[in-house]
Amino acid sequence: MKGPVRNVMRMPRWTAAALLVSAGFAFGGPPGAHHAPQVVGGRCGVGVVAVPNPDDSSEKAYAAAQNKRVGVEKALKQIRAKYFRATKSAEMRQVGILEIRKYDDPAYFPLLIELFEDEDAAARRAILDHLCDIGTDEADATVAWTAVFDDDKAFRTEAADRIGKRYAKSGGERAVCNRVKSVVAIGLRSKDDDTAAAAAGLASILKLYEAIPMLINAQVVGGGSGSDNGDGALAYILVGRQVAFVSDLQPVVGDNAVAFDPTVGVVTEGVVLRVIDAFVITYRMDVHAALVGLSSDGWGGQSTAALGWDGKKWHEWYAKEFVPHRAQLAAAAPAVIAPK
């Protein structure tokens, strides 16, 4: 393998966001024009990526882009220190926001969110407003990633509301891009309940009906755990009674004295419960509520709440009822002529 090797086993979350900015993957659909790096192998299960020869023109371009990114990161940190941390003046903060708005290159969108994540709510909202005003697919993907994966629940809600309003303003003329769908799909696959709930909420806001199968699968999660103590059991539960008795008595004799050394035994009677395996099922209420709301809206306002938590019924309904219904609506809709 020629050239340097980059370890991608532990990819920072905003590096992953940057990949989504340049590559959109829909719900099982074809990838976009650009692809994420391909994991080709590694030792001890650690994935690695093969990189072209350093003398190659593409590698030189990559190095130049990295150097430029370092410079931009330094400039943004200076803006943060001068206009946000060193002063509380509203005028100075406004100047800082105007400086931030000069950065409209998609490669720096995730960096804006990351560098200002510790600032107050007003500053972070200004970043979201800047990205929404840009209005490109790359900016939308960054806002969507924030709406699903940010640690601050209130900020996730802010981001989801903004991207929802952006698409609502288009009156349905602007379809949700694959990059945003990718974020929702990744969130719904997450094992974290809060992340899955945020992704489900964003799917509902954006009316991503094609995400319904993933919502069905994400509303109930479960897993089993076996024994790791070597005897095939997770635990033992004893319900019984123990009675002590003298099982042996050893005399001890001395000058003008005698004593006894008893050995005490215990008899146990009752029931022993041996726990060999455990299976935990988690019902994600927020995901289920988003699923019912989205599916009911797409089904012409008919409620789907009666399907409950039964995944099999949901999938049968989706295939036999929902898909034909949406096909009829699409067939009846007037043809839209794309502008030249």
The predicted-structure confidence for 259-268, as pLDDT tens digits, reads as follows 888 888 888 8
Number of H helices, E strands in the chain: 13, 7
Q: Is 329 exposed, middle or buried (0-12, 13-18, 19+ CB in 10 A)?
A: exposed
The residue among 45 and 221 whose pLDDT is bigger is 221
**How many angstroms separate the CA atoms of 146 and 287, rounded?**
18
What is the sign of the dihedral through the CA atoms of 139, 141, 146 and 147?
positive
* pLDDT on residue 5: 38
Q: What tokens appear for 114 in the block?
A: 């990351």
Q: Could you read off the pLDDT of 120-151 as tens digits, one per residue?
A: 888 899 999 999 999 889 999 999 999 999 99
Provide the residue ranges of all domains of the chain, joining segments of one domain with +.
5-188, 235-276, 291-332
Angle among Cα 217, 219, 224 to the nearest 5 degrees reads 80
Tokens of residue 174, six digits: 């602007």
What's the rounded mean pLDDT across residues 13-39? Answer: 47
Q: pLDDT (tens digit, 9 = 90+) per residue, 268-324?
A: 889 988 888 777 889 999 999 999 999 999 999 999 999 999 999 999 999 999 999
Closest CA relative to residue 49, chosen from 57, 61, 37:
37
CA pair distance 124, 113, nearest whole angstrom: 8
Residue in 215, 219, 212 with CA at minimum distance from that of residue 326: 212
List Cβ neighbours of 63 (8 Å cut-off, separation of 6 or more): 54
| CB-CB contact of 208 with 298 (8 Å) | no
Share of the chain above pLDDT 70, in %: 77
**Own/partner long-range contacts of 78-84 (Cβ < 8 Å, ≥24 apart):** 80/115, 80/116, 80/119, 84/116, 84/119, 84/123
pTM (2 d.p.): 0.70
185, 196 contact by CB (below 8 A): no
Question: Under DSSP, is residue 217 helix (H, G, I), strand (E, B) or coil?
Answer: helix
How does pLDDT run across 163-205, given as a tens digit for each residue?
998 888 765 546 888 999 999 999 999 999 999 999 999 999 9
- Whether the predicted pLDDT of 47 surpasses 60: no
- Tell me, what's the pLDDT at 72? 86
Residue type, 23: A
- The DSSP element (H or E) to which 51 belongs, if any, is none
In this structure, are residues 258 and 274 in contact, taking their beta carbons and an 8 Å threshold? no
Residues making up the chain, counted from first to last: 340
- What is the per-residue pLDDT across 89-105, written as a single tens digit (0 to 9) for each? 888 988 988 999 998 88
